[in-house]
């Protein structure tokens, strides 16, 4: 079976707050981080809301030299990792540690800014470090440099499942003995003109708000931010007396092999069943699911049907919520931020709600923790991510020992 | 005299359905022409580009009357209304 894997540190930045604690507090309070988007040319968009991180001053966190190399998604990853590493106290420096991060857009803001300069403003020159700033692995590389991590480091990009795939890889690497300790999670910052312009063309975005599982839902709302965790081999964490936040118990990934954008119930079911099986858990062991719950017509109906099928009678009362209703859909970073809801459920017995739940949808029919957090004592949780392209990744966590 | 709005809309839908325009009638539904949800999104885009209008269509709410996609005729009527509004 290999080594057991635990989480010993967590960090986050999101529109709910600039730390893991602040983000979880926002979730527990059912607070909305969605607001009017603010960036150049926003008035030329149809979609003008998002989970944007406001009143954030990059110069308060980073030097001018650092900012030359840090796109906004890298900045978020660095801040989240700093918090996670400080909490964990793990000995990261060295070849027994690695970094696996998820992102979908990478340095999209850097691309957007520089395309504007050369195409719209007609400039013939861009900053010499555009490439190292925009590359998808920039955040992973900076984490490796900042923390002296010299083992395997890379970036996983599977759209909305990127960070779940990344964390699953990190889990596998420790379980198999390839690494003792991994920095893992995801980061995303696509809230710029080009980023939203591309998304609005798909006609799946809401102009009004993210209302997962509600009968009046009308689409997804994007967010931005990052979450980074320290995953560590149980034996290593115990030997140094580290506080264990949760155990990473299982992981599974499947492919729908059906449609490039429409979800598929079978692929989702196989991923959830695979994660249960990998963790040695039964459906009845699961006390909370952090749903993918995008707020689109298709996802929420299909995901609900998949959950009802996998969990049977247990699905009637089991809490299932989508925290995207509060922080928006962070695309390649979303699974990482959402894992915080699972950790909060396991450690604190607080189940984050699905806010904006105006009217139940009979096609969903789950306890979606409408609008207000619920108290429960789950011993194990699942976190779902189902990406465009039909790539699914589900993580199972258990409470700390 | 340029093609009518109906002719242009039919040409757009026919291209999505991989049919000849004369195989698409005003009474046709997108379903009967096998235009799926992605084909519909591309159709809406082509209409916006052709007529320089903004189509109020959200794939999460395909039944909405804001842009009625229940038949080719309803789409033509909706496009004519958008053109009139834009003037």
**Which CATH number fits the domain that encloses residue B65?**
1.10.1200.10
Residue B3 sits at the chain A interface (C-beta within 8 Å): no
Do B61 and A203 make contact, defined as CB atoms within 8 angstroms?
Answer: no
C-alpha distances in angstroms, A42 versus A37, A393, B4? Answer: 7, 33, 34
Average pLDDT over chain B, rounded to an integer:
93
Q: Check residue B2 and report its DSSP letter.
A: P
Ordered by where they begin, the domains of chain A are 5-239 (3.40.47.10), 250-398 (3.40.47.10)
Q: What is the pLDDT of residues A114-124, one digit of tens each?
A: 999 999 999 99
Do B41 and A202 make contact, defined as CB atoms within 8 angstroms?
Answer: yes
> Which stretches of chain A score pLDDT less than 70?
1
Do A219 and B60 make contact, defined as CB atoms within 8 angstroms?
Answer: yes
Mean pLDDT, residues B32-61: 94
Do A206 and B58 make contact, defined as CB atoms within 8 angstroms?
Answer: yes
Q: Check residue A242 and report its DSSP letter.
A: P
Residue A329 annotated to the active site: yes
Do B60 and A262 make contact, defined as CB atoms within 8 angstroms?
Answer: no
Please tell me the predicted confidence (pLDDT) of residue B1. 46
Do B44 and A203 make contact, defined as CB atoms within 8 angstroms?
Answer: yes
Integer Cα distance of A226 and A294 in angstroms: 18
B1: distance to nearest CA of chain A, Å? 32
Q: Among partner residues A260, A262, A296, which is closest to B60 by beta-carbon distance?
A: A296
Q: What is the pLDDT of residues A242-272, one digit of tens each?
A: 999 999 999 999 999 999 999 999 999 999 9
Instruction: Given the residues A160, A181, A192, A210, select the one marked as catalytic.
Output: A160
DSSP E strand stretches across A29-175 = 35-36, 49-50, 97-102, 153-156
In percent, the amount of chain A with pLDDT more than 90 equals: 99
Please tell me the predicted confidence (pLDDT) of residue A387. 97
Name the residue range of residue B47's domain.
5-86
And the tokens for A256? 């729908």
Q: Which residues of chain B have a CB within 8 Å of the CB of A260?
A: 38
Residue B54 sits at the chain A interface (C-beta within 8 Å): yes
Integer Cα distance of A319 and A353 in angstroms: 9
Integer Cα distance of A221 and A50 in angstroms: 6
End-to-end, the C-alpha distance of chain B in Å comes to 19
Residue B58 sits at the chain A interface (C-beta within 8 Å): yes
Please tell me the predicted confidence (pLDDT) of residue A1. 67
Q: Which residues of chain B have a CB within 8 Å of the CB of A262?
A: 37
CB atoms within 10 A of CB A316: 11
B70 pLDDT more than 50: yes
Do A297 and B37 make contact, defined as CB atoms within 8 angstroms?
Answer: no
Residue A165 annotated to the active site: no
Element (H, E) at A226: strand A225-233
Q: Which residues of chain B have a CB within 8 Å of the CB of A298?
A: 60
Instruction: Given the residues A142, A147, A165, A292, select the one marked as catalytic.
Output: A292
Contact indicator for A186, A393 with CB cutoff of 8 Å: no
How many domains in chain B?
1
Could you give the ipTM of this predicted complex?
A: 0.83
SS3 state of residue A312: helix
B7: distance to nearest CA of chain A, Å? 24
pTM: 0.95
């Amino acid at each position: 079976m290999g080594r057991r894997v635990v989480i010993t540190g967590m960090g986050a930045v999101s529109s709910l707050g600039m730390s893991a604690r602040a983000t979880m507090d926002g979730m527990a309070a059912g607070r909305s981080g969605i607001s009017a988007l603010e960036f150049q040319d926003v008035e030329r968009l149809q979609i003008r809301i998002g989970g944007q991180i406001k009143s954030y001053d990059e110069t308060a966190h980073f030097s001018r030299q650092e900012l030359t190399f840090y796109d906004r998604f890298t900045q978020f990853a660095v801040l989240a990792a700093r918090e996670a590493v400080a909490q964990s106290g793990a000995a990261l420096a060295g070849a027994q540690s690695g970094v696996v991060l998820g992102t979908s857009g990478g340095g999209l803001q850097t691309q957007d800014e520089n395309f504007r300069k050369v195409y719209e403003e007609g400039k013939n020159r861009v900053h010499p470090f555009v490439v190292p700033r925009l590359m998808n692995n920039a955040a992973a590389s900076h984490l490796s440099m900042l923390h002296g991590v010299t083992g395997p480091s890379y970036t996983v990009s599977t759209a909305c499942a990127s960070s779940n795939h990344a964390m699953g890889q990190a889990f596998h690497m420790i379980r198999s003995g390839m690494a003792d300790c991994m920095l893992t999670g995801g980061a995303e910052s696509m809230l710029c003109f080009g980023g939203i312009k591309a998304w609005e063309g798909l006609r799946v975005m809401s102009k009004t708000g993210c209302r997962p599982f509600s009968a009046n839902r009308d689409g997804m709302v994007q967010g931005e931010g990052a979450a980074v965790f320290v995953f560590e081999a149980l034996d290593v964490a115990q030997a140094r007396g580290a506080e264990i936040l949760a155990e990473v118990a299982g992981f599974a990934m499947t492919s729908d092999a059906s449609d490039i954008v429409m979800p598929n119930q079978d692929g989702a079911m196989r991923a959830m069943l695979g994660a249960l099986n990998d963790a040695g858990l039964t459906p009845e062991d699961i006390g909370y699911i952090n749903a993918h719950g995008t707020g689109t017509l298709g996802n929420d109906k299909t995901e609900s049907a998949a959950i009802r099928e996998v969990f049977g009678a247990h699905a009637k009362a089991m809490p299932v919520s989508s925290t995207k209703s509060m922080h928006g859909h962070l695309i390649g970073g979303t699974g990482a931020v959402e894992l915080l809801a699972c950790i909060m459920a396991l450690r604190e017995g607080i189940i984050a709600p699905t806010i904006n739940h105006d009217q139940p949808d009979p096609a969903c029919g789950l306890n979606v923790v409408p609008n207000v957090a619920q108290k429960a004592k789950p011993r194990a949780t699942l976190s779902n991510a189902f990406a465009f392209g039909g790539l699914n990744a589900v993580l199972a966590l258990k409470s700390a020992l | 005299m340029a093609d009518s709005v109906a002719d242009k809309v039919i040409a757009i839908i026919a291209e999505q359905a991989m049919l000849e325009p004369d195989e698409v009638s005003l009474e046709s539904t997108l379903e009967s022409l096998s235009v799926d949800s992605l084909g519909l999104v591309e159709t809406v885009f082509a209409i916006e580009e052709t007529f320089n209008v903004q189509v109020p269509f959200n794939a999460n709410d395909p039944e909405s009357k804001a842009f009625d996609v229940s038949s080719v005729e309803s789409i033509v009527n909706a496009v004519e209304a958008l053109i009139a509004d834009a003037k």
